[in-house]
Amino acid sequence: MSRQIVLDTETTGLSAEGGDRIIELGCVELLNRKLTGNNLHLYFNPGRDSHEDALKVHGISNEFLKDKPKFAEVADEILQYLQGAEIIIHNAAFDVGFLNKELELIRRPAFRTFVESVTDTLAMAKEMYPGKRNSLDALCDRLGVDNSGRTLHGALLDAELLADVYINLTRGQDPLLISDDVQDSTGAMKVAAIDLRSLTLPVLLASEQEQAAHAEVMAQIDKASGGKTIWRAAQTA
């Protein structure tokens, strides 16, 4: 069974190496490309104030975060939730960089050692729509995803929007004629059987006008070839 986690973070600023920290984590689970509702949403006390510009983006006040747990206190819960999944992130380098820093500060291995893989939807979008704006809002507009509730950035809301965007970006990869949630003993999906013997295909005959037009075209082709067409040779044989 394919398990994917769509992940987003909000941070105190733009530089993990410069001391900025994660303040919010939002994760949305997909099983076989379907939302399960088994989401993870956490706020953290970063131990520092957010930069003014970052505060304008996410609107999460320093006061609100004061009684929230430190990342270290819930790291095991987060890693257990993410364990072995394919992680889907928009601009993955940013979020993974911050997660790596949080894990480094508590002396844990790098983020990618806990997950199956990381898929960057920004890189996917740039390949599919070169030269176009590929922000999350731009992709929502392009793919018909309703983002009208997104007045501020929020990790869980953005993860939910990104899940919808990802499904739309990869819709062409959906297998055809597959029964929902049907698997055999090996875990492989079963293809729905269709008995074509029960279908009756109608035979549409050409009208006299269509037959005459066809004969005229064939005569013109035969004339242009100097009478060397195969069907003319077969008729005179």
Cite the active site residues.
153
Half-sphere exposure (CA, 13 Å, Cβ side) for 229? Answer: 13
**3-state secondary structure (DSSP) of residue 127:** helix
CB 207 within 8 A of CB 213: no
Nearest one of 98, 2, 14 to 50, comparing CA atoms: 14
Determine whether 116 is exposed, middle or buried from the number of CB atoms within 10 Å of its CB (0-12, 13-18, 19+).
middle
Half-sphere exposure (CA, 13 Å, Cβ side) for 62? Answer: 10
Q: Which long-range contacts (CB under 8 A, 24 or more apart) does 17-21 make?
A: 17/101, 19/48, 20/46, 20/48, 20/51, 20/54, 20/98, 21/46, 21/47, 21/48, 21/71, 21/98, 21/101, 21/102
CB 92 within 8 A of CB 118: yes
